[in-house]
Amino acid sequence: MKARAFSYCRARTIDEALDAHALSGEDARYIAGGQSLVPALALRLQAPRVLIDINHIAELRGVRCEGEWLRIGALTRHCEMLTEPLIAEFAPLLRAAAPFVAHPAIRNRGTLGGSVALADPASEFPAMMLALGAEIEIAGASGRRRVAADDFFVDLFETAVGPGELVTAIFVPLFRSNQRICFDELARRRGDYALVGCGMLATCKDGVIEAIRIAFFSVGNVPTRAKSTESVLSGGRIDAERIAAAQAALDRDLAPPESDEVPPAMRLHLARVLLGRMLGQMGEKA
């Protein structure tokens, strides 16, 4: 199939993009990397009357430190997660997740803002927003606001981004020397969507986990924080007994939906296996 005919608008500023969307009503879509939108257009799963190209908006690019935060522009490509020194230093969990995202051709075009805004529950980066305690900056007709990742993901492909609004940047708390990260996923083949995946960020002191954030993906309609599991781990050392207790706590955190591909019980089992493996690695780092 081919995409339905549409008009094209190239925006040079955020205000231009917002104005173009307002003029087009709900029959418009922003396009940057296009790694999800273009296939949807070709299959006519989406058929907007207007495409608004935001690739040339300079304000959406760049990575820089702002106080206690690392600001990552929404147009930052997935491949830049592997090469940008500031991300390696201050957001290493994104660096660890990046090689698992699809394949090089996809990473060369896909954008962080697009991935977060789409909120595919099987994608790596939306879940890492939860693990990092990130905030997402959104621009709209009424101005700009920042939404905590914990409040950003609402339901399947539904986020806090309202009609016509645009994700402009991701703000990540700066990584500290007493923190440790771990990322892993289980997939049939490298580059396929994960059967289950997880990222974690722990604050440690003398081998004790003072605080930890654990986020899973491919286990529900949205990326999911394992808060009960975090509570089990906080305040103690990672040993065999605590790992077993954390794995048991996943039953309270995760409720995989019915699926023709992977039964919920199997997905939950894989999550337990993955968690045990990662906590073993985290214990060595702590």
Helical axes 264-285 vs 240-253, angle rounded to 10°: 140
* Spatial separation of the C-alpha atoms in residues 107 and 100, rounded to whole Å: 10
**Phi first, then psi: what are they for 107, rounded to 5°?**
-65, -30
pLDDT per position as a tens digit, 242-271: 999 999 999 999 999 988 789 999 999 999
Bridge partners (DSSP) of residue 215 are 199, 225
Q: What is the per-residue pLDDT for 126?
A: 98
Q: What is the per-residue pLDDT for 284?
A: 82
* Spatial separation of the C-alpha atoms in residues 129 and 70, rounded to whole Å: 13
Q: What is the per-residue pLDDT for 286?
A: 67
Q: What is the per-residue pLDDT for 60?
A: 98
* Spatial separation of the C-alpha atoms in residues 70 and 255, rounded to whole Å: 32
- What are the Cα distances from residue 11, in Å, to 16, 99, 241, 251, 274? 5, 31, 56, 47, 43
Q: Is residue 180 helix, strand or coil? A: strand
Structure tokens given for 99: 């090689």
Which letter does DSSP use for residue 134 in this model? Answer: -
Q: What is the per-residue pLDDT for 1?
A: 67
Please tell me the number of Cα atoms within 13 Å of 257 on its side-chain side. 13
Cβ neighbours of residue 75 closer than 8 Å, sequence gap 6 or more: 32, 54, 55, 57, 60, 61, 111, 113
286 touches 209 (CB < 8 A) = yes
Q: Is residue 275 helix, strand or coil? A: helix
With a cut of 50, list the residues of the chain below it in pLDDT.
Answer: none
pTM beyond cutoff 0.85? yes
* Spatial separation of the C-alpha atoms in residues 227 and 252, rounded to whole Å: 9
**Phi first, then psi: what are they for 105, rounded to 5°?**
-60, -35
77 touches 33 (CB < 8 A) = yes
